[in-house]
Amino acid sequence: MIADLEEIKGVTLETIYETSEGKLILTCIQCGTCVGTCPHGEYMKYPPRRIIEMLLHGLADKVSDTDSMLKCVNCYACMAKCPRGIHLTEVLLQLIKEQTILKLPTLPAELQKALENSYRYGNPMGESGRKRANWVATSKYPVRILSQNPGPVDVLWFVESYPAYYPRGQDTCRAIAKIFNRLEIDFAILGNEERSAGECGLLAWETGLAEALIDYNISILGKYTFNKIVTSDPHALDAFNYRYRMYGFKKPVYHIIPFLMPYYDKLKSMLTRPLNYSVTYHDSCCLGRHNGFFDEPRALLNAIPGIKLVEMFHHRINSICCGGGGGGMWLDTYFKSQNMERLSDIRIREAIATGADILAVGCPYEIPRFEDALKVAGYENKMVVKDIVELLSESMED
């Protein structure tokens, strides 16, 4: 379902029909599946189906006069189910979003700040770049930092901002450091030299910011010799695999979960501490629907002794977005002002309904979003949100 990168590079709404991806739009049968599945469809004046019809009638301007596409959380649900295989999330909606943002008199403040911060400090929170690698000191296992020790390395672990700064994110970093060490993987991080990779959606419609981050990271990465990049952030995965590639970046990039699969047997033999939890897994949009990794996270969870996996109603291709993608991470206040229910609140109700002790995730956005949703639901003492890597590390006796 992935668009041909070379083809869509530099495409605009005017030139969209010149690509084979764009021509697919002409085949839309107006069935409304995209709208019916869109988690924010009810709040959009122009949801995807109508956008297509407007575009076909030369009325796309009217669409970008509204905030409809600001509400798209890049969850790939419409694209995954479209019976015509139209590359909605990847191509068309991004172009409309770009126009929408350009026309907005003012960007919602929270989003504005996150963009500025990413530009200025290399992370959306506005933390100091010099503190990015501070967590390393708290790791029981050694983590090599390339600027201090620049020799060739097999795996360059791209930590990303949420894991690097956010306290619960740092828990996942320590877990990964442990897993890498125990599996004897030759790895290193960029440390303070790293800046946010950006996320696929944001980069698509914020060309200025995109180019700044991409230029910076590509040049830093160019300093070192490594074979592949591994990251725990599916948004960074997509940024590298879709956006960076358009700027000539060639190295293979993996998300940590599929990356661990070839080590499955070795890893499983180390998972000796039983975790007697009932666990439900939330498929992240980028990892699942966009990249098709549905079995791998479940296989890793099932490798942990004692864990009982239960599914939510909506899972795998039908998972519901946590609301964090496409800039949604920084639009909660705006959405609230529009009387929209938070997607993480909707999603957490399904997780709670499973009766599981743990909500397992594979994306760093999801920990803070779901922890907050649990508080809102008054359920924070009954369910815990954990990244899969945390659970793996917990089950690995030291």
Partner 1 sequence: MTNQGNNKDIRIGFYICHCGTNIASTVDVQKVVEFASKLPKVVVSRDYKYMCSDPGQELIQKDIKELGLNRIVVAACSPFLHEKTFRNASSQAGLNQFYFQMVNTREQNSWVHLDPYASTEKAIDLVRAAIYRVVYHKPLEQKRVPIHPDVLVVGGGIAGIHAALTLANAGKKVYLVEREPSIGGHMAMFDKTFPTLDCAACILTPKMTAVKNHPNITLWTYSEVIGVDGYVGNFKVKVRRKPRYINEDLCIGCLDCIEACVYKEGRFYDEFNLGLSKRKPVYIPFPQAVPLLVVIDPETCIQFKSGKCKQTCVEVCEPNAIDFTQKERIEEIEVGTIIIATGFQTFDPKKIPYYGYGTYPNVYTALEVERLINASGPTQGQIVLRDGTRPKSIAIIHCVGSRDKNTNQWCSRVCCLYSIKLAHLLKERTEAEIYNFYIDIRTPGKMMDEFFIRMKEEGIKFIRGRVADIYPDTSNGCCGKLVVKAEDTLVGEIIKVPVDMVVLSIGLEPRADAQEIRRMFNITCSTEGFYIERHPKLAPVNTFTDGIFLAGCCQGPKDIPDTVAQAGAAAAEALTLIDTGYIEIEPNTAFVLEDDCSGCKSCIPLCPYTAISFLEDKKKAFINEVLCKGCGTCVAACPSGSIVQNLFEDEEIFSEIVGVLNYTYHEEEV
Could you give the 3-state DSSP secondary structure of residue 154?
strand
Measured from the CB atom, is 5 or 353 closer to partner 1?
353
Q: Does 318 bind partner 1 (CB under 8 A)?
A: yes
**Choices 31-39, 186-194, 269-277, 388-396 (CB under 6 A): range interacting with ligand SF4:** 31-39
Question: For residue 135, what are its two tokens?
Answer: 């967590």
Query: What binding mask, one character per residue, do residues 50-79 give for ligand SF4 by CB under 6 A, x or -?
Result: --x-------------------xxxxxxx-
Question: For residue 92, what are its two tokens?
Answer: 């068309």
Closest by alpha carbon to 129, among 116, 137, 118?
118
Q: Does 82 bind ligand SF4 (CB under 6 A)?
A: yes
Phi-psi region of 198 (alpha: psi -120 to 50; beta: other; left: phi over 0): left
Measured from the CB atom, is 85 or 150 closer to partner 1?
85
Shortest distance, position 334 Cβ to partner 1, whole Å: 21
Concatenate the DSSP letters of all residues of 317-328 into one string: GGPPP-S-GGGG
Interacting partner of 76 out of ligand SF4, partner 1, none (Cβ under 5 to 8 A depending on kind) = ligand SF4
Shortest distance, position 116 Cβ to ligand SF4, whole Å: 24
**What is the rounded distance in angstroms from the CA atom of residue 89 to the CA atom of residue 187?**
33
Interacting partner of 74 out of ligand SF4, partner 1, none (Cβ under 5 to 8 A depending on kind) = ligand SF4
**Choices 62-70, 79-87, 360-368, 387-395 (CB under 8 A): range interacting with partner 1:** 79-87
Question: For residue 398, what are its two tokens?
Answer: 């030291």
Could you give the 3-state DSSP secondary structure of residue 242?
helix
Q: Which of 314, 357, 380, 394 binds partner 1 (CB under 8 A)?
A: 314
Distance of CA 137 to the CA centre of its chain: 26
Q: Does 68 bind partner 1 (CB under 8 A)?
A: no
- Pairing type for strands 358-361 and 308-310 reads unpaired
Beta-bridge partners for 226: 153
Shortest distance, position 289 Cβ to partner 1, whole Å: 11
Q: Which of 8, 11, 21, 39 binds ligand SF4 (CB under 6 A)?
A: 39
Phi-psi region of 24 (alpha: psi -120 to 50; beta: other; left: phi over 0): alpha
Interacting partner of 88 out of ligand SF4, partner 1, none (Cβ under 5 to 8 A depending on kind) = ligand SF4
Could you give the 3-state DSSP secondary structure of residue 32?
coil
Q: Which of 8, 49, 196, 315 binds ligand SF4 (CB under 6 A)?
A: 49
- In the window 102-121, what residues touch partner 1 (CB under 8 A)? none
Q: Does 376 bind partner 1 (CB under 8 A)?
A: no
Q: Which of 2, 5, 26, 29 binds partner 1 (CB under 8 A)?
A: 29
CB 190 within 8 A of CB 220: yes
Measured from the CB atom, is 28 or 236 closer to partner 1?
28
Q: How would you label 111-139 residue by residue, b for 16+ Cβ within 10 Å and e otherwise? A: beebbebbbebbbbeebeeeebbebbeeb
Measured from the CB atom, is 66 or 318 closer to partner 1?
318
Q: Does 29 bind ligand SF4 (CB under 6 A)?
A: yes
Q: Does 86 bind ligand SF4 (CB under 6 A)?
A: yes
Q: Which amino acid is at 218?
A: I
The residue ranges of DSSP E strands in the chain, in sequence order, are 153-158, 187-189, 226-231, 253-255, 278-281, 308-310, 358-361, 384-387
Q: Does 32 bind ligand SF4 (CB under 6 A)?
A: yes
The footprint of ligand SF4 (CB under 6 A) covers 28-34, 37-40, 48-49, 52, 72-78, 82-84, 86, 88-89, 93
